[in-house]
Amino acid sequence: MTKYTLTYFDVEALGEPIRMLLSYGNLDFTDNRIDYEKDWAKFKTAMPMGQVPILEADGKVMYQSLAISRYLARLVGLYGENPLEDYEIDNAVDNINDFRAKLAGAQYEQNAVAKEEKFKLLKAETIPYFLEKLDAIAAENDGHFALKKFTLADVYFTGMSNYLSLMAQQDITANYQNLKKVVENTIATPGIKEWVEKRPKKV
Amino acid sequence: MTKYTLTYFDVEALGEPIRMLLSYGNLDFTDNRIDYEKDWAKFKTAMPMGQVPILEADGKVMYQSLAISRYLARLVGLYGENPLEDYEIDNAVDNINDFRAKLAGAQYEQNAVAKEEKFKLLKAETIPYFLEKLDAIAAENDGHFALKKFTLADVYFTGMSNYLSLMAQQDITANYQNLKKVVENTIATPGIKEWVEKRPKKV
């Protein structure tokens, strides 16, 4: 059986959907966490694109968190069964990823004035816009993001939900019952449930 | 036979990989171009996530440019044949998309000071970093981005290459022979060749 090693920071963020997919598929993995302050500088130059997470499997180094997540989703049966089903999942993943990118654009802004402007716009417009749209999609899909069933899109959102809330400076599911349902459905899923119970309590 | 309508601005940018995929597959499509200045405000609110491109097919409205591109790539045989091949393509697409996002982050920055800072960093570090990495990947894959053959990743890069050069304020393939080869291979491909010859000359 393939042994996987996930290398990422000691946080959920982009690594957590991968950890959840590995756990869901009952795949054997080492959760290798690197210390950002102490070890990142020396790790960074050795990474294929200067980034983590990476996933090692049978000597192969995989990188790009979403490409890894898609790969694992295919392995464990959380992608579609035909091109149109795949599209529905990809579409939902892209919507979630757009929201992540908007938040990250403010969170990692280096210019203090621009950062304040960006957070103001996020709070006034972007965050409610995305949360309403995503909540409506989850409502249409009975507490899922696509195909009215549990897919990669649900894992992608749930794995990143604490990170998204951290960046948004608010609990993103608090006022959105259907988004809350996605998270609840996902963390109650066998494999993921056990992982969430035992994982380090670090966002 | 399904008739497609692509709705996008009168530019290449995010619409062009989709136009190329439709052309490669010899799919029947209407290239519907909207005038940003005149028509976008009224279109925007009608779009599923306030964005274009959208692709209409048999009454279904598809959105999210990458999800649409992946769907079409599956239809026309430019995705992988197993999860590992799909991963290689997804990984390349994500690398290209990261580069696009870095450029866009500067291009669409609203704060003039932050914008100048971002372009300075892009030119000094980010652009050469990405172009060298991408060029090395294209070298390893014999003028392609994945699997040493023509895939979605080549179309995604080539379709956006003029847009990426515009944002980077330089011809991104000028000093990178392997990236140039990707573009040359792609625009010489039957279906895409005819499209490139007849398309409007607008970046």
Q: Is A71's CB within 8 Å of B49's CB? A: no
Nearest Cα residue in chain B from A75 = B83
Shortest distance, CA B70 to any CA of chain A (angstroms): 7
Average of per-residue pLDDT across A28-57:
94
Q: In which region does residue B143 sit, left (phi positive, over 0), alpha (psi from -120 to 50) or beta (all else)? A: left
The pLDDT value recorded for residue A203 is: 83
* Chain A with chain B: Cβ pairs closer than 8 A: 81
pLDDT along chain B (203 residues), means of 10: 96 98 98 94 92 95 98 98 98 98 97 98 98 98 98 98 98 98 98 97 85
Q: Is A117's CB within 8 Å of B110's CB? A: yes
The pLDDT value recorded for residue A62 is: 98
Average of per-residue pLDDT across A111-140:
98
Q: Is B93's CB within 8 Å of A63's CB? A: no
Q: Is B109's CB within 8 Å of A110's CB? A: no
The pLDDT value recorded for residue A200 is: 94
The pLDDT value recorded for residue A1 is: 85
CATH 3.40.50.300 fits B83-187, yes or no: no
Candidate CATH numbers 3.40.50.970, 1.20.1250.20, 3.40.30.10, 2.60.40.1480; the one for domain A3-77+190-198: 3.40.30.10
User: Which CATH fold topology does B3-76+190-198 show?
Assistant: Glutaredoxin (3.40.30)
The helix (run of H) or strand (run of E) holding residue B30 is strand B28-34
Average of per-residue pLDDT across A87-98:
98
Q: Where are the domains of chain A?
A: 3-77+190-198, 83-187
Q: Is A110's CB within 8 Å of B114's CB? A: yes
**Best of B27, B61, B64, B109 to disrupt the A interface by mutation (most A CBs within 10 Å)?**
B64
Spell out the SS3 assignment of chain A: CCEEEEEEECCCHHHHHHHHHHHHCCCEEEEEEECHHHHHHHHHCCCCCCCCCEEEECCEEEECHHHHHHHHHHHHCCCCCCHHHHHHHHHHHHHHHHHHHHHHHHHCCCCHHHHHHHHHHHHHHHHHHHHHHHHHHHHHCCCCCECCECCHHHHHHHHHHHHHHHHHCCCCCCCCHHHHHHHHHHHCCCCHHHHHHHCCCCC
The pLDDT value recorded for residue A110 is: 96
Least CB–CB distance from A114: residue in B93, B111, B129:
B111
Going by pLDDT thresholds of 50, 70 and 90, the confidence category of residue A106 is very high
Q: Is A87's CB within 8 Å of B67's CB? A: yes
Alpha carbon of B27 to those of A88, A184, B30, B57: distances in Å? Answer: 21, 42, 10, 11
